[in-house]
Structure 1
Amino acid sequence: MNEDELGLRRELALALLDDLDRLTDTLVDDIHAHSPLYASGRPVARADLRLACRRNVELALKDLGGLREAGDRLDEAAAETGRLRAEQSMPLATVLKAYRRGGRVIWQAMADRMRDRSPAEQRMVGDMAGAVWETIDRYSSVMADTYRITALELRHREDSRRGALFEALLDGRGGDPAVAAAAADALGAPVRDRYAVVVVAQDPAAPADPAPALEAEGLWSFWRPRGERLAGLVRLGPAGTRTLAAALRRDLGRTAGISPAFEELALADQGLRHAVRALGTLPPGGAEVAELDERLVHALLGADRELAERLVLRHLDGVLRSGAERPVLLETLRVWLDTGCSASRTAERLYCHRNTVLNRIGRVAELTGLPAECGEARLGWALALRALELTAR
């Protein structure tokens, strides 16, 4: 840059600095005219926008005119704008557009003052335009970098807060109305609605976050790891746990337990306990989904493994030690109980004769020492078969 161009830049910059308030008002009006968000005054009030514009325009003109003083740090001013706009959740694209409008207003003001200049000075217009846009681009870049860093920090901070409040709910602190209200606000979920808790066995080969798959089914959810499991709060709304279970079976591919529905965030800790109990009724690695209400008997038996083993021993020991007969006797007993102790319906399912079924049930009675016509014996056999699923792992 030669001395003539430097002198012209300095002269124009000084002239515009003398008219800084009017230039700032022009810029603010221009930004409002081209941005409905800024024009709304939310989240950036006009007075705040004017203050930022005045400072940025002042420093940009000093930079262009080679008039920067020791205390002038335009990069810091741009960075401060980026930080503030990120904290205000103003879209970055909107802020960058405002910077471009600023460059346009500055250049137009300089161009207006160049109209009556000599031909030699007007030949410098192209270089001066380039200098204006280089300045705007540089400060836009500083602003955008700071905006992105601040947005990441805010997101991390908010994620940490949401996670902490979610943990507070699962730990049973949702009974405090202040905790429940803070959690509802952080999670973006109402204090009262229809919810369920899901506990998923961790699987490195499966997606870490089931939320996108459930969102595609219209179900909001929030998830966090808890030890070797993944715990999630699901907002059911009008849907039921069966809808949730079907979505998990279809999209998750992992073993999961689902609590019964509940209607307050404060009950999330109870939901967690129920979901864990439901998960405990399933064999590991089976990619099955269990609703607690559908497996209450399994959950009760699984709560005390010693008693479950004793139940199996008391009601099925003879059958289990029957050698080659064991598989067919257990299967016949299971189907016979499931069909309401109907020999005919059992025979249809097993593709055998009705008398064959009666003979096998008689053999079960003989081996266990329990009469087939006794309701207590039938209940014991049914429970023992469920307990066998748990103890045989």
Structure 2
Amino acid sequence: MREANLIGELEKTLLDTGIDTQISALATVLLDRVGELAKEIAARIRAVAPSSHYEVVPAEELEEACRAHLCNALQALSGQAPLDTEAAARVGRRRAQENVPLPSVMTAYRVGVKSFWEAVVAEALRTSLVGSDQLVAAASAIWELQDAITEGMVSGYHDAASQRLLAGERERSALVEALLEGRSMDVDAVWSAAEVLGVPRNGPFTVVAAEVPGIGRQALPEVAAILSRRDIRSGWRLRPDLELGIVYLRTSRDLDDLARVLRQHAQLRVGVSPTYDDLCRTGDALRFAKVAMRGGDAESGAVTFFDDSPLAVASAGAPGVMARVASNVLGPIEALPAGERDVLLDTLEAWSACGGSAEEAAKRLYVHPNTVRMRLRRIAEHTGRSVSDPRGITELSLALCAVRQTPNHSSSEPAGSTGSTEPADG
């Protein structure tokens, strides 16, 4: 739309100034010199544009692009053909495919426009086809024409850049999927995957598995860009139920940075595998990451590292078995009214998290230490497992992990309150 408006403004300006005939004659003369002018402009672009960017453009191709733009502009000015912005868009797409940065392309266009204007002025003075006053009046129309050509180039550049980005993301996603599925890949395929992902073949790596909030929705939006800003390379794949990532840990600090990013952005459970060195073992790492993810609290955005959470991992590793264990150990408590059940389970969880200290658990729960001790006695009475017996503690802890890992299990009342009457200090 913008390009069409510019073309319309150009035609209107030429007609309003009454100099279309003079400009047409001048443009016709310059068309006879288009080959010479194209060589001159291409040489100027080569001299000004950074060689590290434009050296990828063959000399013949650059000269031909200059020729095409000159013919396009001069034919429009002479009335021989309408302005064709698609020609400029093709050049823009080509430069994007050649990885020439857009600022470098814009620099080349500025050089070209300046050279074109100088050629127009020089020819007008040499031939006297257009007087100074008429040339000044026509200048705005000529610049509008150049704006239309430049906008066409930029539009084509952005289209090609977007297509390349999309194609690159699809390729990255497909390679991540192949690695995660543990497909048999030969050495060359693994090296190619590493190259596309921007990582070495040898790690250490880790796999991240994150629950998604809904089908097709990301669990960790923009996580690749966030990690990239921390100089951490990664590749991600979105599945219907999970968002999965392969993360390259260049330094020991990267794992800590990854943990901070995940904890800051996690919406639901996230699991992180043990580190591994060979990309071919990514499928095994994914299984560990999934187990770690299931080991987190189903009602929170918990980030669980496989190596740091043996109890949670052990519970999540055999969900069917642990469901039976949880039923056998905590079944009597699960059968209590919701308020009483949640208070006892929250107390057991806080006491365990505080290293078996009733005093520290009381601070976390905002109750008296004797209240914690009384609740622990009630747990022992209901389950037959004592919190002073190592075996009893182990069974209670495993069963509690299994309960917390079950979706839709949430406390209905604050941990400091109960559904029944109990003394504040036992």
Work out whether residues 295 and 401 of structure 2, in 8 Å CA contact, stay in contact via their aligned partners in 1. Answer: no
Cα separation, 1, equivalents of 2:242 and 2:293: 10
Q: Give the match for residue 277 of structure 2.
A: 263
Match of 2:207, SS state, is strand
Q: 2:235 aligns with which of 206, 222, 230?
A: 222
Q: 2:181 aligns with which of 168, 171, 186?
A: 171
Distance 1:131 1:267, change over 3 A: same
Deviation string for 1:196-246 (max 9, x for gaps)?
A: 111222237976333344445443333332112222222222136454323
Q: 1:141 aligns with which of 129, 151, 161?
A: 151
Q: Please, what is the CA RMSD of the aligned residues? A: 4.2
Q: Any unmatched runs of 5+ in structure 2?
A: 1-13, 363-367, 410-426
* TM superposition shift of 1:105: 1.5
Cα separation, 1, equivalents of 2:353 and 2:267: 31
* TM superposition shift of 1:88: 1.4
Q: Give the match for residue 50 of structure 1.
A: 63
1:233 equivalent to 2:243? Answer: no
Cα separation, 2, equivalents of 1:333 and 1:134: 72
1:78 equivalent to 2:88? Answer: yes
Deviation string for 1:136-157 (max 9, x for gaps)?
A: 2222222222222222222222
* TM superposition shift of 1:49: 0.7
Of stretches 4-13 and 152-161 in structure 1, the one that deviates more from structure 2 is 4-13
Deviation string for 1:277-333 (max 9, x for gaps)?
A: 111112223121111112233333333334324434666678888999997799689
Cα separation, 2, equivalents of 1:214 and 1:294: 22
1:190 equivalent to 2:174? Answer: no
Cα separation, 2, equivalents of 1:330 and 1:287: 17
Q: Give the match for residue 284 of structure 1.
A: 298
Aligned amino acid, residue 77 of structure 2? L
Cα separation, 2, equivalents of 1:330 and 1:143: 64
Match of 1:173, SS state, is coil
1:1-393 alignment, distance < 5 Å: 5-37=19-51, 41-68=54-81, 74-116=84-126, 121-173=131-183, 175-203=185-213, 208-238=221-251, 239=253, 241-312=255-326, 364=380, 368=384, 380=395, 383-384=398-399, 386-387=401-402, 389-390=404-405, 393=409
Match of 1:115, SS state, is helix
Aligned amino acid, residue 220 of structure 1? R
* TM superposition shift of 1:65: 2.3
Work out whether residues 220 and 267 of structure 2, in 8 Å CA contact, stay in contact via their aligned partners in 1. Answer: no
* TM superposition shift of 1:265: 2.6
Work out whether residues 220 and 235 of structure 1, in 8 Å CA contact, stay in contact via their aligned partners in 2. Answer: yes
* TM superposition shift of 1:259: 0.9
Cα separation, 2, equivalents of 1:116 and 1:366: 107
Deviation string for 1:325-383 (max 9, x for gaps)?
A: 9977996899599869xxxx778977879xx98xx88x95997499977x766655554
Match of 1:224, SS state, is strand
Work out whether residues 197 and 231 of structure 1, in 8 Å CA contact, stay in contact via their aligned partners in 2. Answer: yes
Distance 1:35 1:178, change over 3 A: same
Distance 1:115 1:287, change over 3 A: same
Cα separation, 2, equivalents of 1:111 and 1:333: 84
Cα separation, 2, equivalents of 1:305 and 1:5: 85
Aligned amino acid, residue 285 of structure 1? E
Cα separation, 2, equivalents of 1:131 and 1:308: 79
Cα separation, 1, equivalents of 2:330 and 2:18: 105
* TM superposition shift of 1:161: 1.8
How many residue pairs are counted as aligned between the two chains?
A: 381
Work out whether residues 198 and 257 of structure 1, in 8 Å CA contact, stay in contact via their aligned partners in 2. Answer: yes
**Greater RCO structure (CA 8 Å; 6+ sep):** 2
Cα separation, 2, equivalents of 1:254 and 1:9: 68
Work out whether residues 268 and 298 of structure 2, in 8 Å CA contact, stay in contact via their aligned partners in 1. Answer: no
Given the two structures, how large is their TM-score scaled by the length of structure 2? 0.72
Deviation string for 1:70-126 (max 9, x for gaps)?
A: xx9843422221221121122233323323322221221221233255597333211
